[in-house]
Structure 1
Amino acid sequence: MENKNLVPAMVCCEHYKIELSFIHSLEQYGFIKTVRVDADEFLEEDELQTLEKFIRMHYELDINMQGIEAINFLLERVQNMKNEIAHLRSRLNVYETKSFHDNL
Structure 2
Amino acid sequence: MTNDYLIPLPDLCTQYEMEMSFFINLEEYGLIEFISVEETYFIHKDHIVNLEKILRLHQELNLNLEGIDTVFNLLHKIDILKTELNDVKNRLRRYENE
TM-score by length of 2: 0.91
Q: How far apart in 1 are the matches of 2:19 and 2:49? A: 17
Unpaired segments ≥5 residues, structure 1 = 100-104
- For the residue of structure 2 that corresponds to 1:36, the secondary structure is strand
How far is 1:71 from its partner? Answer: 1.4
Higher RCO (C-alpha 8 Å, min separation 6): 2
Hey, what does 1:102 align to over in structure 2?
none
**Quick check: 1:52 aligned with 2:76?**
no
Aligned residues: CA RMSD:
1.2
- For the residue of structure 2 that corresponds to 1:63, the secondary structure is coil
Identity of aligned residues (%): 36
Unpaired segments ≥5 residues, structure 2 = none
Amino acid corresponding to residue 4 of structure 1 in structure 2: D
Q: How far apart in 1 are the matches of 2:28 and 2:88? A: 35
Amino acid corresponding to residue 53 of structure 1 in structure 2: K
Q: Deviations over 1:63-101 (max 9, x none)?
A: 11111111111111111111111111122222222x1xx
Across the two proteins, how many residue pairs are aligned to each other? 98
Hey, what does 1:16 align to over in structure 2?
16
Amino acid corresponding to residue 82 of structure 2 in structure 1: K
Hey, what does 1:32 align to over in structure 2?
32
Hey, what does 1:64 align to over in structure 2?
64
Q: Deviations over 1:42-61 (max 9, x none)?
A: 00001111000000111221
The runs of 4+ residues in structure 1 deviating greater than 3 Å are none
For the pair shown, which has the larger CA radius of gyration, 1 or 2?
1
How far is 1:6 from its partner? Answer: 0.4
Q: How far apart in 2 are the matches of 1:23 and 1:93? A: 47
TM-score by length of 1: 0.86
Amino acid corresponding to residue 36 of structure 1 in structure 2: S
